[in-house]
Amino acid sequence: MTKSTKISIALAAVVVLTIGIFLFVSARDDDSDISAVNGPSTAANTELLVRADSNKLSNGPEATFVEFLDFECEGCLAAFPAVEELRTKYGDRVTFVVRHMPLHNNSMNAALASEAAANQGKFEPMYKRLFETVGEWGHKEDSQEEYFAGLARDLGLDMNQYSADVKDPATRARVDQSTKDGTALGVQGTPTFFLNGERLNPRTAQDLQAAFDNALDE
């Protein structure tokens, strides 16, 4: 077996394990079961779910999917591959929206980094890089601002603008508003999902898939 083959098998195993964690483990930021926190499906105030400055990963015309997330949350990391798969399949039909609810040591700095990247049209690549590299910066006591700046540099951002935007109170205000909206909607943990204003209660990735299929078949 070649070295490249071993690496491919190892990566595949990591993906399977990650999805498995999402399906069966209570890996949310508040250590609660996903169904217990999300509770039954409920209709939400659409004005609180999506604001004019909310970051969108796609702009599909048929449905709107909103995720309240924390880049440092293990549950969000576990859900990330499933959400990416849904984006690949439905991105041309569904608007995928990201809302912030930072609850860990460096979650706020990560959120600010993503918002600063968004100001330069690079929210999506920063979103991906934050999840892909969380093993390097997550759950550390010291500030990871410099690490996030390195990600911004790698993405080719104007670093003067990036630094100014990270420090801009308006950037922090957008993140804080997202958290306030989530709280008003009854969001108590991350990840929490809404599809067409209905809070979802997924136990598996297949449940998410079924929710999309049902929404798009209506």
Furthest C-alpha separation in the chain: 55
pTM of the model: 0.82
- CA-CA distance, 104 to 191, in Å (whole number)? 13
57-102-66 Cα angle (round to 5): 35
Q: Please report, for the domain that includes residue 164, its CATH number.
A: 3.40.30.10
Q: What is the 3-state secondary structure (H, E, C) of 112-165?
A: HHHHHHHCCCCHHHHHHHHHHCHHHHCCCCCCCHHHHHHHHHHCCCCHHHHHHH
Is 19 a member of any domain?
no
Whole-number mean pLDDT of the chain? 86
Is 74 a member of any domain?
yes
What domain range is 111 assigned to?
42-217
Please state the rounded mean pLDDT for residues 183-207: 94
Please state the rounded mean pLDDT for residues 75-83: 96
Please state the rounded mean pLDDT for residues 173-185: 97
Is 36 a member of any domain?
no
CB-facing half-sphere around the CA of 105: CA atoms within 13 A? 10
Is 62 a member of any domain?
yes
Is 98 a member of any domain?
yes
pLDDT higher than threshold 50 for residue 18: no
- CA-CA distance, 182 to 17, in Å (whole number)? 29
Backbone angles phi, psi at 64, to 5 degrees: -130, 125
Give per-residue pLDDT as tens, 21-46: 444 344 555 533 333 333 445 566 88
pLDDT higher than threshold 50 for residue 197: yes
Distances (CA, A) of 95 to 57, 60, 65, 92: 7, 4, 6, 8
Q: Is 72 exposed, middle or buried (0-12, 13-18, 19+ CB in 10 A)?
A: buried
pLDDT higher than threshold 80 for residue 52: yes
Is 29 a member of any domain?
no
Per-residue pLDDT band for 203 (boundaries 50, 70, 90) equals confident
Is 20 a member of any domain?
no
Tally of domains in the chain: 1
Is 73 a member of any domain?
yes
pLDDT of residue 34: 37
Sign for the CA dihedral angle at 67, 72, 73, 78 comes to positive
Backbone angles phi, psi at 43, to 5 degrees: -80, 140
- CA-CA distance, 94 to 59, in Å (whole number)? 6
* Tokens of residue 181, six digits: 């909206």
